[in-house]
Structure 1
């Protein structure tokens, strides 16, 4: 029988009496049929307040690379809690974590810590502008860089406000944003090297930095086309811009050197979040000595009462050691499991007549479902995704999967943890088979 969520529904009704909209992050309200409430997790397993068990591929929006409640991390946090939770001062832990980052990521010559990647993005943009004396940041459609005023410019332009292909619009999805913020950005389309070159040349000498997700995980799961990352590096070197790699999602999931090691490039500034803290509120700005110079001189303010919090540092130290312990072959195992899951989902989709085309490197991937009449082939950019992906149909299938105990991110992203096993993939596909059959029987294409 499909899962029911009676207790979660009761709690959500109660939450709306004291919490604005009943949730503490807007995206959580997307979950259907109701935002779920959980009691515990272990490895790839998760249990909600109704006693339902899930094989989890949402993994805290990708933060839980090491699975739920790893014992070693819990012990590290508990040990630190007994010594102190916050000093607003220094501890040896912050040196130990920063030294690990230097060892793992070639471009991480110096590090600063924050509590969220959104904060780190703000710091990176401020640093880039101070470094160059220029105001513009070039970013790509569909890329997410935190929820602050600057992070969402051009993220998900509405179709009727896209602008033309050559000049993507600078819109913001939130009210209350300072209007002048929009004027500080140039928006380009992802995975079009020639277009990127034209955009940079159009604003040559005015751009402080190019910021990007090395794999566009916040809109589908779009790997960079051949030559794109090299072109970004070349243009930044040519024009004195900083290359800012937002590895909030890809960081450490793609190996000890992150996506930079996986794809072979060196950024000037790197944004690290999610997996660096294993589910604790922890993030880092890493960069070359040259790019971090204005922080060293004191010309750029970077502050925060809870920066380098010892509880989060204890968790991060354990997380980074866990990545290092995986060895030089990491992330081969998670990539293999992810590809097995992608293959199995594709076979189920074919069996039940569902036009699903999972895409991504396997370590993380997106469950693309094609709209009726949409062209086949890999999706390459934000506009292509909006035109071809059937979001309502995915939402229906996602709910069917959830009700059979397979949990993926609402927008279609699946993540693999180091605790998933081949048996977990087999069980997830067994459950998914039931979900696909129910979806195929009940889905009706809107007229």
Structure 2
């Protein structure tokens, strides 16, 4: 029996009377058939207010690498709350957490804390411009760097606003942005090394930094092609630009050293979010001592009343200790489970004639739904993804899976947590089989209105 969502629907109607648009982050309104309201979670399991149980692969947009509500983390936070939640001053905890990051990531010689990765991105861009005295940041189409004025120029433009292949548009998707901000960004296509070289050469001497998701997880799940990371490093060294790795999603998921350790590159600045706080609002800017010099000198202002608050620090300390305790088992253990899930999805999709093509390294992956007559093969960049991915059909299947208790991110990204086990994957695939059977029977008819 497919799930129903009457209580969530009631709460969403109520929320719209006091909360603008009924949600506190615009993307949450994408949930179909209604933005869901949850009551509790445990490990890989999640329950909504209608009593529906999910095997969760959304995991708080990837932040819950450790699963829902780890008892030891909850106890650590509770103990700290009794001692104090906020001092706007220092504590030994911040040294303990920064020392852990420093030990885990060789490029993290120094660390500064914030409350969200969006804040860290803005700090990183400020540092890069102060460090070089240059105005421009080079970024890639489809890469997400927070929701600020500086985070989204050229992120995921509509087809009619792409610009040409050689000069992708730096258009911002939101109104109300300071008009001059997008003009401070040069946009390149992901995974095209020669195109990147041409874009850098075109603006040589004006670019302060190159920023990127080392694995493009916000649009599909696209790993870097061979020599891309080394080319970025080479160009940054050649022209005195800073290399900024946005590891909001990949940090600690890809191992203690993040994606930079997994793929073997060394950035100047690293943006850390999500897993570093284990579900608390916590983020970090990590970098080499040379790249952080303008913060050291006080030339760059980096501030925040709630920076390094003890509640988030104690959660981060616990979270990082889980990675350290895993040792060489991480990320191999979650990668193995992810590969098993991907293979199972392919087998079931083929059985039902569904053109689903999971893509990614396993510990995180995206379920690409090929459009009719789309070519086979890995998705290589944002434009390739838009041209080949059948978003409406994926949304239909995603709803069928949700109503059988398997939850992935709306855009198609799946994450594996350290709390998932092989029996969880087996159970998820059993449920997926039911959801796919239903999708194959109903598609392309619209999903029924929920009760």
Instruction: Please give the range of the TM-score, normalised by the shorter of the 2 chains.
Output: over 0.9
Partner of 1:231: 231
Partner of 2:63: 63
Partner of 1:277: 277
Partner of 2:286: 286
Q: Deviations over 1:234-284 (max 9, x none)?
A: 000000000000000000000000001000000100000000000000000
Partner of 1:308: 308
CA shift, 1:445, in A, is: 7.7
CA distance in 1, matches of 2:367, 2:329: 26
CA shift, 1:44, in A, is: 0.1
- Is 1:144–2:155 an aligned residue pair? no
- Is 1:384–2:395 an aligned residue pair? no
Partner of 1:268: 268
Partner of 1:23: 23
CA distance in 1, matches of 2:412, 2:301: 38
Partner of 1:394: 394
Partner of 2:449: none
Which runs of 4 or more aligned residues in structure 1 lie more than 4 Å from their structure 2 counterparts after TM superposition? Answer: none
Partner of 1:438: 438
Partner of 2:405: 405
CA distance in 1, matches of 2:107, 2:227: 20
What pairs with 1:16-415 in structure 2 (closer than 5 Å)?
16-415=16-415
Q: Deviations over 1:169-194 (max 9, x none)?
A: 01111000011001100000000000
TM-score when scaled to structure 1?
Answer: 0.99
CA distance in 2, matches of 1:330, 1:169: 39
Q: Deviations over 1:180-212 (max 9, x none)?
A: 001100000000000000000000010000000
CA distance in 2, matches of 1:197, 1:164: 17
CA distance in 1, matches of 2:89, 2:169: 43
What secondary structure, in the 3-state scheme, does the structure 2 residue paired with 1:221 have?
coil
CA distance in 1, matches of 2:77, 2:394: 38
What secondary structure, in the 3-state scheme, does the structure 2 residue paired with 1:98 have?
helix
Q: Deviations over 1:383-405 (max 9, x none)?
A: 00000000000000000000000
CA distance in 1, matches of 2:71, 2:92: 23
CA distance in 2, matches of 1:122, 1:376: 38
CA shift, 1:313, in A, is: 0.1
Q: Report the more deviating stretch, 324-333 or 3-12.
A: 324-333
CA distance in 2, matches of 1:437, 1:328: 39
Q: Deviations over 1:275-311 (max 9, x none)?
A: 0000000000000000000000000000000000100
What secondary structure, in the 3-state scheme, does the structure 2 residue paired with 1:284 have?
strand
CA distance in 2, matches of 1:274, 1:18: 28
CA distance in 1, matches of 2:76, 2:386: 43
What secondary structure, in the 3-state scheme, does the structure 2 residue paired with 1:208 have?
strand
What secondary structure, in the 3-state scheme, does the structure 2 residue paired with 1:180 have?
coil
Q: Deviations over 1:209-229 (max 9, x none)?
A: 000000000000000000000
What secondary structure, in the 3-state scheme, does the structure 2 residue paired with 1:121 have?
helix
CA distance in 1, matches of 2:174, 2:335: 36
What secondary structure, in the 3-state scheme, does the structure 1 residue paired with 2:219 have?
coil
CA shift, 1:35, in A, is: 0.3
- Is 1:419–2:419 an aligned residue pair? yes
CA distance in 1, matches of 2:210, 2:324: 30
CA shift, 1:158, in A, is: 1.1
TM-score when scaled to structure 2?
Answer: 0.98
CA distance in 2, matches of 1:194, 1:232: 11
CA shift, 1:14, in A, is: 0.3
CA shift, 1:329, in A, is: 3.0
CA distance in 1, matches of 2:48, 2:97: 33
Alignment length (residue pairs): 446
Unaligned runs of 5+ in 2: 447-451
CA distance in 1, matches of 2:329, 2:106: 18
CA shift, 1:328, in A, is: 1.9
